[in-house]
């Protein structure tokens, strides 16, 4: 009867009519969220202590990426000084070792023996990510919290690509954490109840993802570092939302994205000099790294977070848990709720990081998975 042929043109037409960016109303709403967070984040988070008190975590093992500076350093330090086994997954291992020595000195007066180790991880190399996961999984040590903290925002810089061929914001902020999260699912299951905590950004509210042009090379959109950053952060929320749905409740793994707020960190070193000056002129509005670490620490350690993730899963909520800088649940951007785009981002991401479409299900069932990167078989 030619039913499929007749149905094809409307579907194709719909694809062509898909928006190529945020509508102006969505754009304004998104920027309103960003501005509100910048101006009022201190008031919104005034109920929080700084540093944040942590529950007993002596039996927790936490992997923290990008933990030699900024928010990641604060997360790793506070977890370690609270008694957790912390794995600093970093590119600069020497800097990490020096930090540990300093933390040990700082902790001597409290009679705390820190349990911190360093492992090499370069997010600009998917081979490095796969090798890290392979090395960790071989140890059969459970992980209770994977904190994907590392990120870049190279404002004003021209488009750059990793040696894997992917735009650098996309790879560091989305692809590499996605690969690490999926490959560590077996060890996260052993640490159940466990969490994958993705340090995201309020800037995802003004992001837009084209699953057919995630590298922003087609010419449909003119590349800017702003587009690279905001789209990578939105892609992370979308991928995390599908991962949250694909992991069965019995696996005991929660998936959470957090906003640290507007924070003065080493990301600012990539900003134009005039913007860096503005950052220094408005310290009241901008969080320091310790304040910016609170939402990630809350998401990684508070018992209520696992319950919240399970509630969203049972309610079939379209997005994963999102914790704002005030450590309260928040609703991510309107665009992140686009379920069809979520799955398109999911499929494209798995293709880009060299994993089969059923990788999550197979890893959860204890099967081996072939990855295009690293030594995995």
Active site residues: 229
Q: Give the CA angle between residues 252, 202, 151 to the nearest 5°.
A: 70
Distance CA 256, CA 76 (A): 18
Q: Are 195 and 146 in contact (CB under 8 A)?
A: yes
Q: Please, which residues have CB within 8 angstroms of residue 37's CB and are 6 or more apart in sequence?
A: 44, 202, 259, 261, 262, 324, 325
Among candidates 37, 18, 33, 36, which has minimal Cα distance to 334? 33
CA-CA distance, 191 to 289, in Å (whole number)?
28
Identify which of 170, 344, 346 has the alpha carbon closest to the alpha carbon of residue 255: 346
State which H helix or E strand residue 65 sits in: strand 61-65
**β-strand 61-65 against 85-90: which pairing, if any?**
parallel
Closest-CA residue to 135 (of 151, 117, 111, 119): 119
Length in residues, the chain: 377
Asked if 372 and 354 count as a contact pair (C-beta separation under 8 A), the reply is yes
Burial pattern 260-285, b for ≥16 Cβ within 10 A else e, equals bbbbbbebbebbeeeeeeebeeeeeb
Q: Is 175 exposed, middle or buried (0-12, 13-18, 19+ CB in 10 A)?
A: buried
Taking a C-beta distance cutoff of 8 angstroms, is the pair 177, 350 a contact? no
Encoding tokens for residue 290? Answer: 């310790």
């Amino acid at each position: 009867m030619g039913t499929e042929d007749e149905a094809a043109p409307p579907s194709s037409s719909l694809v062509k009519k898909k928006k190529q960016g945020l509508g102006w109303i969505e754009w304004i709403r998104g920027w309103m969220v960003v501005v509100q967070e910048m101006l009022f984040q201190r008031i919104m988070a005034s109920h929080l202590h700084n540093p944040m008190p942590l529950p007993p975590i002596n039996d927790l093992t936490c992997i923290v990426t990008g933990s030699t500076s900024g928010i990641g350093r604060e997360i790793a330090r506070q977890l370690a000084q609270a008694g957790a086994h912390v794995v600093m997954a970093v590119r600069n291992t020497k800097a990490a070792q020096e930090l540990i020595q300093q933390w040990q000195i700082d902790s001597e007066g409290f009679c705390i023996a820190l349990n911190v180790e360093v492992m090499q991880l370069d997010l600009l190399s998917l081979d490095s990510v796969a090798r890290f996961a392979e090395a960790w999984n071989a140890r059969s040590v459970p992980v209770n919290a994977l904190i994907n903290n590392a990120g870049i925002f190279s404002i004003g810089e021209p488009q750059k690509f990793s040696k894997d061929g992917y735009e650098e914001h996309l790879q560091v902020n989305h692809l590499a954490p996605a690969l690490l999260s999926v490959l560590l699912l077996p060890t996260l299951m052993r640490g159940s109840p466990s969490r994958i905590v993705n340090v995201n950004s309020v800037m995802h509210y003004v992001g837009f993802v084209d699953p057919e042009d995630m590298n922003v090379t087609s010419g449909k959109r003119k590349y800017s570092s702003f587009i690279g950053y905001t789209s990578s952060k939105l892609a992370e929320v979308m991928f995390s939302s599908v991962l949250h749905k694909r992991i069965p409740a019995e696996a005991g793994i929660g998936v959470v994205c957090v906003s640290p707020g507007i924070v003065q960190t080493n990301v600012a070193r990539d900003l134009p000099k005039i913007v860096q000056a503005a950052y220094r002129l408005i310290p009241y509005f901008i969080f320091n790294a310790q304040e910016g670490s609170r939402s990630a620490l809350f998401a990684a350690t508070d018992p209520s977070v696992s319950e919240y993730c399970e509630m969203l899963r049972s309610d079939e909520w379209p997005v994963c848990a999102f914790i704002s800088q005030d450590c309260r649940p928040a609703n991510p951007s309107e665009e992140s709720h686009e379920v069809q785009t979520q799955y398109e981002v999911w499929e494209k991401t798995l293709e880009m990081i060299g994993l089969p479409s059923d990788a999550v299900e197979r890893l959860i069932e204890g099967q081996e998975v072939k990855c295009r990167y690293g030594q995995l078989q």
